Amino acid sequence: MKMKKISAISILLGLLLLAGKPTGAPLAQSQSAPVEGLTYLHPTSEVISESTSKNTVTALASEELDTVVQTYCQPCHNDVMLTGNMSLQGFSVDDPVERAETVEKMIVKLRAGMMPPPGMPRPSPDTLLTLVTTLEEAMDQNYADSPNPGIRAFPRLNRAEYAAMVEDLLALEVDAADWLPLDTKSNNFDNFGDAQALSPTLLD
The predicted pLDDT at position 202 comes to 64
Whether 51 and 36 have beta carbons less than 8 Å apart is answered as no
Confidence band, pLDDT 50/70/90 cuts, at residue 38: very low
Question: Domain residues of the chain, as ranges?
Answer: 54-145, 159-198
The predicted pLDDT at position 123 comes to 93
Q: What is the pTM of this model?
A: 0.49
Other residues' Cβ atoms within 10 Å of the Cβ of residue 164 = 13
Least confident segment among 11-20, 85-94, 172-181? 11-20
Confidence band, pLDDT 50/70/90 cuts, at residue 57: low
Q: Where are the beta strands (DSSP E) in the chain?
A: none
Measure the CA–CA gap between 84 and 76, rounded to whole angstroms. 9
Residues 6+ apart with CB under 8 A from 177: 159
- Residue 5 or 92, more confident: 92
The predicted pLDDT at position 101 comes to 93
- Residue 14 or 62, more confident: 62
Tens of pLDDT, residues 58-96: 677 888 999 999 999 999 999 999 999 999 999 999 888
Find the largest Cα–Cα distance for the chain.
126
What spatial distance separates the first Cα and last Cα of the chain, rounded to whole Å? 126
Q: What is the rounded average pLDDT of the residues 131-137?
A: 94
The predicted pLDDT at position 1 comes to 53
pLDDT for 30 beyond 50: no
Among the listed residues 50, 196, 204, the one whose alpha carbon sits nearest the alpha carbon of residue 129? 50
Confidence band, pLDDT 50/70/90 cuts, at residue 183: confident
Task: Write the DSSP symbol of residue 5.
Answer: H
Query: Which residues on adjacent β-strands are paired with residue 186?
Result: 189
Measure the CA–CA gap between 155 and 164, rounded to whole angstroms. 17
Measure the CA–CA gap between 66 and 93, rounded to whole angstroms. 6
The predicted pLDDT at position 14 comes to 62
pLDDT for 16 beyond 70: no
The chain-wide mean pLDDT, for the chain, equals: 76
Task: Write the DSSP symbol of residue 85.
Answer: G
Measure the CA–CA gap between 129 and 26, rounded to whole angstroms. 47
Q: What is the rounded average pLDDT of the residues 93-107?
A: 92
pLDDT for 52 beyond 60: no
pLDDT for 15 beyond 70: no
